[in-house]
Structure 1
Amino acid sequence: MTTMASFIYSWRFTFMFMAIMVRTVFAMPIYRPSPWAQAYATFYGDETASETMGGACGFGNLITNGYGTDTAALSSTLFNNGFACGTCYQIRCTRAKQCYNTFTTVTATNLCPPNWSKDSNAGGWCNPPRVHFDMSKPAFMKIADWKAGIVPVYYRRVPCIRNGGVRFSFQGNGYWLLVYVMNIGGGGDIASMWVKGSKTGWISMSHNWGASYQAFATLGGQSLSFKMTSYTSKETIIAWDAAPPNWQVGLTYKANINFH
């Protein structure tokens, strides 16, 4: 092959490779903001946000697990049986004199349960089919005077911006693996999840509650990989060898990959 022919061949190969890469990047599912919609917002707890720790999603200590105090409990209409855990929302107060001219972004970490003893417009704020955010007090104070108690808001789903990869908090025992999935980027949610031991194929995990998924399998002594599909964007990612062979219940393991 002549020098000129080699150059043309090399150039064509480089061009084809770059074209493939461009198509791959642009084909990648990316979660985008939703249209603005109307709802109402209240707050619970005090300025320390200590009462927001834990919650129905199972995220535990929201400070140490990276969610901070900008969080909210969702009415069951939004909570979607826990599939909305980890989703992110921009919220701004509107049509009330106590509103501030600003907005904040919160992560869904809890459920605001119905209160059937009260009317939906007089205390039963989270009764279906109402769309309601019961925010942490620090988050509420960014959009309105806390003395207002309840304010009308505009909200929209937005991509979750997370530092680092997905985190897996292990519970269960030698025959039952329960995993709380945290720090999810993109849509912030999980629809389906699988686990693979270094000596097994892919094992489907069932949704337990909140942000937890379970597998009834003996996986001790194996490195574990996880395959996850986003509920919203349908993007699927694989966290290879996210946990080492000597993984333990009670510990949290970090992957090097996240949703977009």
Structure 2
Amino acid sequence: MTWRLLAAPRADPAPGHARVVAAVHGLADNGTTWQDLAALLGAGYRWYTVDAPWSGDPGRSLTDGARPAEWLRQALADLPEPVDILVGHSFGANAVLDHLATRPAPEVRAAVLLAPLVRPAEQAPHPVLVARTRAAIRQVVADGLRARLGPRAAHVADDVLAAMVDKAVARVPDGATELVLDRLLATPRPALGQVNTPALVLAGRGDQRLAGVRANSLTVMPAVEVSIHPHYGHFCHITEAAEVAAECAEFLDRVVPAPSPTGPTLEVVA
């Protein structure tokens, strides 16, 4: 598994003078999804990104691979330095949740979960929910394509855009739908009540397919802060990047203060 170091917007901080981030993307996405958020948070962070097994890379399959938490645990072991902050989007956020629920050692200092896939405890996994989830997966892939196009999407002919969506959906790895359903139907679960890692959950009322207001059910985590916005969609880290970056910065400055540029200060006793 190969991690990539995102280029810092300014001079890369020296080792020991940056908060180290490992970022995990969602279904049929890749590590480039973090470029805007990383740039907005600034050079005080060092970002590692990876193309997970559920990326849209040709030939990817999830039918015989490790579970998301197992994969993430192995991938983190390959990083060249300890991680301070885990960031995950959509299915990647669920991989982070599952990883934290195993109470790994060493533990990260904080987590940011963007639009995690959540089923409230009172919503039984009936066939209608399963059918809606399957349809939602296709729509989320389409939303991701539109988010990346940004204003250009308005100038793309409908038939061309539909063909682009079909092509993007075709890149969803084998076994992905079943794995997403498995993790969606498993939340919330008792193990999350033991996760003491400070975590920020960001979701939006505009994301009614897989996340949205259902993210409130993650308040079972003792050190979680859940923030739901009326205008955030599933890809808020792209479409509302500046706002997401501001929320992340405020949270991380509180729970993972930036290292001193000059090292620890010695107290002089007269």
TM-score using structure 2 length: 0.25
The structure with more strand, counted as a fraction of residues: 1
Give the number of the structure whose alpha-carbon radius of gyration is greater.
1
Higher helix share: 2
What is the TM-score when the length of structure 1 is the normalising length?
A: 0.25
